[in-house]
Chain A
Amino acid sequence: MPTEPSAERGPWSLALRRFLRNRLALAFLGLFVLIVVFVMAAPLWANHVADTGPNEEHTVEQITVNGEKKDVVTVEGKPIGPQWFGAGGKFFLGADSRLGRDEMVRLMYGGRTSLQIGITAALIATILAVVLALLAGYFRGWVDGLIARTLDVIWSLPVFLIGLSLGIALAVGGLKLGPLEISSGSNWNPIFVISIFTVPYIARPIRGQVLALSEKEFVEAAVAQGAGPLRVMFSEILPNLASTIIVFFTLMIANSMLFEAGLSFLGAGVQPPNSSWGTMITVGVELLNIQPLLAILPGLMIMLTVLSLNIVGDALRDALDPRGKARMDAALEFEAHGGVTAGAQQGAVV
């Protein structure tokens, strides 16, 4: 055996090396980057190629495809199919419905919305969960009792059903919660719903870790040096949670995106005319027998994004903590509960 490099390399660079050795994960990380580039390029494609916005309707227009005039939407209300580059990139994937909106532009902007909601919701949920877990695990006593009970109640609810209710109530009436005010059509509504209901899945396992960490000698040493609760929580315990937080955050983006797709598909998430991959499926299913791509493509995009995030998250877990059985179990527990979405179970059991 060659000498262990661990003496001169920090744990992070070791983890990075382990991650870089995982070719499958690298391939899927590449796929995720491609998806991000694809959705970020939305304005470029919209302005320079398709020459239309995501919500612009073209009900009575005609386009020239290879020198031939074609209706964007026929008299019977049937949208044009994929034109690829026949019309110079206009209606690359055809029109979305009788409203004649450019499917490709909507797919790109919709992906933007889906990713934005997924990432923001995961970020908010993770921050909330970490703060709650730190408070509960550090102070214990009634603080822990209150936080842990509240999380337990959310945990035992049929989360998707209640999330759906909240989503639709907010989509109709907006939100007013103290200083927090969101108007009715805003994308912050699904973000709010998703982040609230996903907090327990992150907070519960992290709370356990905080409980264990606060028994350790280095915490005792910090307290002996006169460190206050804030310093102990945030500069002693928090850094030790970093790898768990990174893994959960990655997996949580995937789950939030599925949650968003479910809400939007049923009309309780992103509100029309804005597009997200979930709402695009709702529109597309109506025309499944004539233009199957309209429903299948956004579904495929959701699957690829979620799959790549799950595989990357899983590889991160392996790389950051090769022996971490406890964490593995926490994630399994999360998947097992399956309450979050139409497919919360589909986190990575890879």
Chain B
Amino acid sequence: MARFIVRRLVAMIGVLFAVSVIVFVVFMVLPKQNPAQTLAGKNATPVLVKSIEEEWGFDDSLVVQYGTMMKKVFTGELTSYKPRIPVDDQIKEGIPATFSLTIGAAIIWLFFGLLLGYLSAIRAGGWLDRILTGVSIAGISIPVFLLAPVLLYFLTYKIELFPNAQYVDFSEDPYEWARHLILPWFTLALLSIGFYSRVLRSNMLDVMNEDYVRTARAKGLSERQVMTRHVLRNSLIPVVTLFGLDFGATIAGTAIITEVLFSLDGIGLYAAEAVRKFELPPIMGVALYGAFFVVFVNALVDVAYAYLDPRVRLGESASE
């Protein structure tokens, strides 16, 4: 197990390094236009461009520039171009909203996704299964771009059931915190509810054909015990991996769009505003920290997975 963790950590550091190089290349090497020119604006004089170039170190060699960028990232000195606000502070301010949104949504999607998947699987082929299948497919097919405006229009503007999001801190007012987050939670969760229920259903149907399930039945366990202790438990293992990947991907993907649509003051909204103003350092910061977080979560999930399923880590060491 220790060996497995070390291997995973090494792989993680490799990916983190790749991420930082890719982000650097994306912002400093690939663009045709000189970053100083971008920063100075369209009608800048060559003198201004030159001074910006020197000030931000755009004229250094690429290796030095990469070093400077990484130093700034680790010491928290990354600042936006204009006005000069530390990127770290902005990201820290966005954390409560982003985490409230994503963790809340994750709880909702796990709960409903697994519940619907379980019900669907134990009634496979029946009318309940068919209805739930329909619901899941509908849920999977609705993009957040459509769901959020529809919910906002009908539930916020038409009947004023929910406030137009804005984040309220939990410590200020837990009730308002939840009321402001219900629509974004649901928007973010719906797609995954559909997806998880499909995945759990198909996993359970596969597991039901395994020998050990037949053995469990043969030794006289009740149907309920067979389902919960043997089928469900074993079907959940792949879901753990899936969840780790999805949680990271959601934070770095759909959550950004959801925050913008509901104007929640999180990291995603901060990044989106930086995009709108063509401010590169905040996007660089968000991309780097976000990528680090996602890679870290994925590594954690891998370890958890190996812990749950001995075949994984044994397979790893056997192949060495």
Interface residues of A (CB under 8 A from B): 153, 156-162, 164-166, 168-177, 181-184, 258, 261-262, 265-268, 278, 281, 284-285, 288-289, 292, 295-296, 298-300, 302-303, 306-307, 310, 332, 335-346, 349-350
Contacts and interface: CB of A to CB of B under 8 A. Distances in A.
Nearest to A289: B157
A339 B245 contact: yes
10 contacts: A153-B18, A157-B15, A157-B18, A158-B249, A162-B22, A168-B275, A169-B27, A292-B149, A343-B191, A343-B254
Contacts of B140: 345-346, 349
A281 to B, nearest CB: 5
B266 interface: no
Interface stretch (B50-58, B165-173, B277-285): B277-285
Contacts, number: 202
Contacts of B280: 168-169, 172
Contacts of A299: 143, 145-146, 149-150
Contacts of B136: 349
A338 B32 contact: no
Contacts of B195: 335, 345-346, 349
B92 interface: no
B28 to A, nearest CB: 9
B82 to A, nearest CB: 14
Most B C-beta atoms less than 10 A away, residue of A164, A292, A344, A350: A164
A173 B275 contact: no
B141 interface: yes
B272 to A, nearest CB: 5
B298 A156 contact: yes
Contacts of A261: 143, 145
B33 interface: yes
Nearest to B292: A158
Nearest to B27: A169
B62 interface: no
Interface in B217-256: 242, 245-246, 248-254, 256
| CB-based closest 4 A-B pairs | A173-B31, A299-B146, A158-B252, A173-B33
Contact of A158 (B38, B275, B291): B291
B44 interface: no
A343 B253 CA distance: 8
A296 B278 contact: no
Given A342-B254, A343-B191, A345-B140, A296 B19 contact: no
B283 A338 contact: no
B256 A157 contact: no
B252 A161 contact: yes
B32 A176 contact: yes
Given A173-B38, A262-B253, A168 B278 contact: yes
A258 B143 contact: yes
A345 B191 contact: yes
A160 B253 contact: yes
B294 interface: yes
Contacts of A258: 143
B249 A339 contact: yes
A28 B287 CA distance: 38
Chain B: interface size category: 35 or more
Contact of B192 (A176, A184, A268, A345): A345
Given A160-B253, A172-B31, 11 more contacts: A158-B251, A172-B278, A173-B31, A284-B149, A292-B149, A299-B143, A342-B145, A345-B246, A346-B195, A349-B195, A349-B199
B260 interface: yes
B153 A350 contact: no
Contact of A306 (B19, B141, B291): B141
B110 to A, nearest CB: 14
B149 A176 contact: no
Contacts of A183: 32
Contacts of A162: 19, 22-23, 26, 287, 291
A262 B257 contact: yes
Contacts of B192: 345
A344 B195 CA distance: 11
Contacts of B260: 265-266
Contacts of A306: 141, 143
A332 B196 CA distance: 12
Given A158-B248, A164-B275, A343 B144 contact: yes
A341 B253 contact: yes
Most A C-beta atoms less than 10 A away, residue of B32, B271, B280, B294: B32
Contacts of B142: 303
B141 A158 contact: no
Contacts of A174: 31-33
Contacts of A165: 23, 26-27, 283-284, 287
Most B C-beta atoms less than 10 A away, residue of A161, A265, A300, A349: A161
Contacts of A158: 248-249, 251-253, 287, 290-291, 294-295
Nearest to B295: A156
Interface in B116-142: 136-137, 140-142
Contacts of B152: 288
B69 interface: no
B282 to A, nearest CB: 11
A266 to B, nearest CB: 5
A196 to B, nearest CB: 11
Contact of A267 (B18, B26, B275): B275
